[in-house]
Amino acid sequence: MKKLMSLLAVSLLAVLLVACGGDDNANEGQNGENESASEGGEKIIRAGIGLNQNHPQYKGLLKFKEIVEEETDGEITVETYHSGQLGDDRTMTEALQLGTQEVTVPSTAPIANFVPEFSVFDIPFLFPSEEVADEVLAGDVAQDLLKKLEEKDLVGLAYWENGFRDLTNSERPVETIEDFDGLKIRTMENDIHLAAFEELGANPTPMAFTELFTAMQQGTVDGQENPYATIYLENYFEVQDYVSDTHHVYSPFVFLMSKEFYDGLSEEEQQIVRDAAKEAGEYQIKLNREANAEYLEKLVDEGMEFSEISDEERQKMVDAVQPVIEDFKDDIGAETVDGIMEAVEQAQGE
C-alpha cells in the first residue's frame, strides 16, 4: 500500500512538473499546460536526466536545447529536467518508449535491460583510457549497437560520457582486493556489475540512482561507485568518507530519443536533432573531463580520504573479475564482445 502511494506520488509529481514546463530557468516562456509533445504545430522535447543541474551532463542538455531551438527557429522547443525530476534512467527510458517523454541520457548499464548487447560496455576494466574509449565508441561495432535501439522504440543519437567509475564508502579505506570484503555496495541495475562486485568479495545491491543518496545517508548501503564529478556534484562527501581510484568501468551515456517522436519529425529536423546531440555531446565530454580531473582534489578538501590502488592490486582485481566476462559473453552476444574487444586492441595499437 505504502509503495503504491509513493509510486502515485512520484508519477503525480512528474506530471505536475511536466505540466509546469520543467526547470523554470531553462524553460522560461513555456506556456505551462503541456500534455502532449506538440502544441499548435510547435514540437516540444521533454528532456530529463538523473544528475543535477551542476553536472556537465545537464550543461550538455542545455547546449542541445540551444542548438535545436536556434536551428529550428523555435519550431522545436526543448524543456529540460534534472535531478531525476522525471524519474530514473530505466523509468525515463520506458517513458520514451511510451511517448510520454522525448529525450533522456542514461548510462549504458540500465540500457542493457532493453538491449542486452549494451552490457558489453560494463565489462570491468575493458577500456584502459578515455582516448581508447573515444575511438571504440566512434567505431562500427559501437555505432551499430545504437541502431539496435530502434527495435525497442528508441533512437540512439550519440554517445556522451559518464566516465571512469571509482569506489567510495563509509566503512574503511579500500586499497587491496581484501578491503572489498563484505562491503554493501550499491550498483546500477545491471547483472554484470553485480557479478563483478561479488567476485571482488563485496555484497552488491542494484538500485536506481534516485534512491542512492538516501540509501547512503541511512546506511542501507556502505558505498557506491561513480565518476569523481558525480561524487562531488551530488555531495556524496557528506555521506561517504573514503574514495579509491578503482577506475573499474568506463561508463558511456547514450543520448536517447523516443522513436515515435523522432519518426514524427521532418528529415531536416531529424538531421538537426542528430547533429545537435553530437555537437552537444562533444561539449559535454570536454566539460566532463575537466570536471573529473578537478574534483578528486575537491573531495579530499571536503574531508574524504583518498586511496590510490597500486598496479599490483589492480591486476588482482582484473584477474578476479575475468570469470564474469566468460559467464556473460553469451548473454551479451559473443559477436559484440569479440567485436568491441578487437576494437579496444586496435585502438591501443597492439
Residues that bind ligand TK8 (CB under 6 A): 49-51, 89, 106-107, 162, 188, 209, 226, 230, 251
Return the amino acid letter for 27: N
Query: 209 vs 262, which CB is nearer to ligand TK8?
Result: 209
Look at residue 348 and give its three-state secondary structure.
helix
**Position closest to ligand TK8 via CB:** 50
Name every residue whose Cβ is closer than 8 Å to that of residue 195 and which is 6 or more positions away in sequence: 324, 327, 328
Cell matching residue 340: 568491441
Query: 249 vs 347, which CB is nearer to ligand TK8?
Result: 249
Please report how close the Cβ of residue 100 comes to ligand TK8 at its closest, in angstroms: 18
Name every residue whose Cβ is closer than 8 Å to that of residue 173 and which is 6 or more positions away in sequence: 179, 242, 244, 305, 307
Please report how close the Cβ of residue 270 comes to ligand TK8 at its closest, in angstroms: 25
Please report how close the Cβ of residue 227 comes to ligand TK8 at its closest, in angstroms: 7
Please report how close the Cβ of residue 55 comes to ligand TK8 at its closest, in angstroms: 8
- Alpha-carbon distance of 270 to 76, in angstroms, equals 11
Please report how close the Cβ of residue 224 comes to ligand TK8 at its closest, in angstroms: 7
Q: b/e for 83-120, b at 16 or more Cβ within 10 A?
A: bbbbbbbbbbbbbbbeebbbbbbbbbbbbbbbbbbbbb
Query: 72 vs 292, which CB is nearer to ligand TK8?
Result: 292
Interior CA angle at 117 toward 244 and 122, to 5°? 5
Burial class of residue 131, CB neighbours in 10 A (0-12, 13-18, 19+)? exposed
Query: 174 vs 188, which CB is nearer to ligand TK8?
Result: 188
Query: 230 vs 258, which CB is nearer to ligand TK8?
Result: 230
Please report how close the Cβ of residue 79 comes to ligand TK8 at its closest, in angstroms: 18
CA–CA distances in Å: residue 96 to residues 170, 273, 307, 327, 348: 36, 16, 40, 31, 36
Query: 212 vs 340, which CB is nearer to ligand TK8?
Result: 212
Query: 76 vs 188, which CB is nearer to ligand TK8?
Result: 188
Please report how close the Cβ of residue 215 comes to ligand TK8 at its closest, in angstroms: 12
Look at residue 315 and give its three-state secondary structure.
helix
- Alpha-carbon distance of 130 to 186, in angstroms, equals 24
> Which among 101, 122, 66 has a CA at the least distance from the CA of 275?
66
